[in-house]
Structure formats: C-alpha cells, structure tokens
Amino acid sequence: MSASIACFETSTLYADTERALDTMNIDIINGKLLRIMWFQHNPSLHKSEVGDAFIKNLARSIDSKFLYKTFSVFGNILSCKVVINENGSRGFEFVHFENSEATRRAVAKLMELC
C-alpha cells in the first residue's frame, strides 16, 4: 500500500462519528488503508512510546481491521498496523494504545493464551 493521506472531518452529531468509527475504520478504499480516530488534543500522544505494543508470529491472513477490533477491547487505539511487503503480511504488527494500562491489559491477556 502506498503512503497515507490525512483528512479531517467534523460532525456535529456524536452518533455519526461513532458510526463511522464502527463501520469504516481500518477499511481498504482504492488500495489505501482508511484509519479513523477521534481528534487528539495532545499531539505528543502520537509521538510517545507509552502504550506501544509489538505483536509477532501472526498468521499471514490476519489484517489490520481484525487486529483493531480484537485489541480495541483493551483500550482506545491510536494506531494499529500490520507490517506488509509486496508478498503481504510479514507476520507482525504494531498497536499504539492511548495509555500504558491498556497495553498491559492486552499483553497480560495474550500471555494467558500462550
């Protein structure tokens, strides 16, 4: 997939934004990954390593949408990306949670499953 394109949408209805997050987030449109998130008033959240998780040994069939839906139960996700190359998934991904507590919950649950 090629580079990301950023755009901003404003809505006066909270329900419209919630519906977009639930139905369109992490979709592929014209070969590009669509990521929808709430506006963050604190841009340092995106630059911080607090809340970062690295997951490896994934099945090649797992995509970003599946991972987003799976990991969002642990907390607010700022970004979620399966690393790919020309052959598809490389078997690992990055999840950036809003805070370290969500990361701890996700890692603890994964460790229970292993």
25-59: per-residue pLDDT in tens?
A: 666 666 666 666 665 555 555 555 667 888 888 88
Band (pLDDT 50/70/90 cuts) for residue 1 is very low
pTM summary value? 0.60
CA distances from 53 to 8, 23, 24, 75, 88 (A): 26, 24, 23, 12, 21
Asked if pLDDT for residue 69 goes beyond 80, the answer is yes
In DSSP terms, 28 is beta-bridged to 33
Whether the predicted pLDDT of 78 surpasses 70: yes
How high is the pLDDT of residue 74? 94
Residues 61, 46 contacting (CB under 8 angstroms): no
Round the CA-based radius of gyration of the chain to a whole number and report it: 15
- Is the Cβ–Cβ distance between 37 and 57 less than 8 Å? no
Q: Which residue ranges form the domains of the chain, and what is each CATH number?
A: 42-113 (3.30.70.330)
**Burial status of residue 59 (CB atoms within 10 A of its CB: 0-12, 13-18, 19 or more):** exposed
